[in-house]
Structure 1
């Protein structure tokens, strides 16, 4: 993004505001690190998009490989000449400082999977392949980084959760529903931009292509899925809070774990309000005011790696 575009658009994109609305219980240094990582994620997403639009497979492959390496060795990449690589290194190095190495390794494992999912999206978009609905939903859980944002609940709560807690069905269902809502609502709000750009990666586009729905029917289907996420979460939230009560068994460890789970579940609830607010306040989705409905006006098509 050129400097003049930063001045004109950065605040209006609301990227850090989005995170401030999610992780409300996080200490300031944790929230700042998450917010910066989120802003980096949007920049990376735009670079990925421009590499597709302008047919730059070699640039994308270089970036993919460098991100994998920077994720495992962030300290060695802080001064990398590509600011997207250096930005990831800076972000994850800060995130790795809050919880034990076991959390760091899990975060890295989950983000390696996200990078590879972006690579699969690159292939689908360059080849014009519209995934089936089920294929898309599975891939979307990775490209939206469901488990990354769920991992970040823990430093916000100040405690790494044991595996048996994270994999408990009540906790896991509530976490998944909060992310499904966010991903599908994002698809709904992104649909005009992605149709204008001849996109293939959007739930609505998969519904039209593979389920034979009209555009209006696909939008109605997406709205229904979003509403179901909200209804199902309300029950899942109750189950997860009951699970937190069970964990709080009178021991010090039990009380700390139960408290952390309650904090995490409260943050899951925040996703709904903050995602809704963001998509109606951020300049990222105001396609009707753009000269080209497929391209945000702040994007520089000659970004690094693209010349």
Structure 2
């Protein structure tokens, strides 16, 4: 829970403009330092000190490989947040393929997968963690979760002028209106679900000793996707007080008139 709260806190700091471009780069530099150096002195900056506490606790009681996967995922997430910030400052809207690649890091989903390894005391060797099918299952799960998030979070993000959203990117690149963009993103999600199921059917056996760990890791991917989608209809973070109504009706109310600058 501490780790999830830290991720949201840091992401919100970057999104809100609380840190300017140089401040964000400096903060990310400190994050990378504490990830690499377990003996670094405790920072006086709260967001850094909180991460140090989390990572050091994990180092004390977690498996080496699981902790390393968390460290790698946090580093990738933090560095990509800088790219998102630069794009926002320059009003640059990525191409669809650029966005898909960037979103896989800014979603922080890889961090959650790694935390699932840690929480379930898994010790995944590279034979599993780097297996092409398992890697692609994780990527597909990331896409499904992230793109669904972009649909549900679009009203809130549009009201704040945030461009890092698949709906907005589809409006801009495909030259379509809001409903056309939502339909496009939804279809991409459906295709990704089909690809996930086809990939899962091709999963090889890693032998009796490792198959259970592989199954637990894949279950973690699926639980992560489903849990986040359920959470969107519980938290007021994206849909405000309309979350339950949106779940029941399938209709998301817009907070402000949609900007036409995307099309």
**TM-score (structure 2 length as normaliser):** 0.84
Q: How many residues align?
A: 245
Is 1:71–2:38 an aligned residue pair?
no
Is 1:215–2:178 an aligned residue pair?
yes
2:9 matched residue in structure 1: 43
1:230 matched residue in structure 2: 193
Match of 1:190 among 153, 161, 168: 153
Structure 1: any 5+ residue segments left out of the alignment? 1-34, 249-254, 295-307
- Write the deviation string for residues 131-172 of structure 1: whole angstroms up to 9, x where unpaired: 111111111111113432332332234232121222222222
Q: Is the 8 A contact 1:77 1:89 kept in 2?
A: no
Q: Structure 1: how far apart are the matches of 2:28 and 2:41?
A: 14
What SS does the aligned partner of 2:84 have? helix
Q: Structure 1: how far apart are the matches of 2:51 and 2:236?
A: 23
Is 1:62–2:15 an aligned residue pair?
no
Per-residue deviation at 1:72?
1.9
Is 1:279–2:232 an aligned residue pair?
yes
- Write the deviation string for residues 45-87 of structure 1: whole angstroms up to 9, x where unpaired: 1111122xx6733432332222122222355354x22211111
Q: Structure 1: how far apart are the matches of 2:196 and 2:95?
A: 25
Deviates more, 1:260-269 or 1:122-131: 260-269
Bigger RCO (CA 8 Å, 6+ sep): 1
Distance 1:77 1:178, change over 3 A: farther
Backbone CA RMSD of aligned residues: 2.3
Is 1:264–2:251 an aligned residue pair?
no
**TM-score (structure 1 length as normaliser):** 0.72
1:1-307 counterparts in 2 under 5 A? 35-51=1-17, 56-78=20-42, 80-240=43-203, 243=204, 246-248=205-207, 255-287=208-240
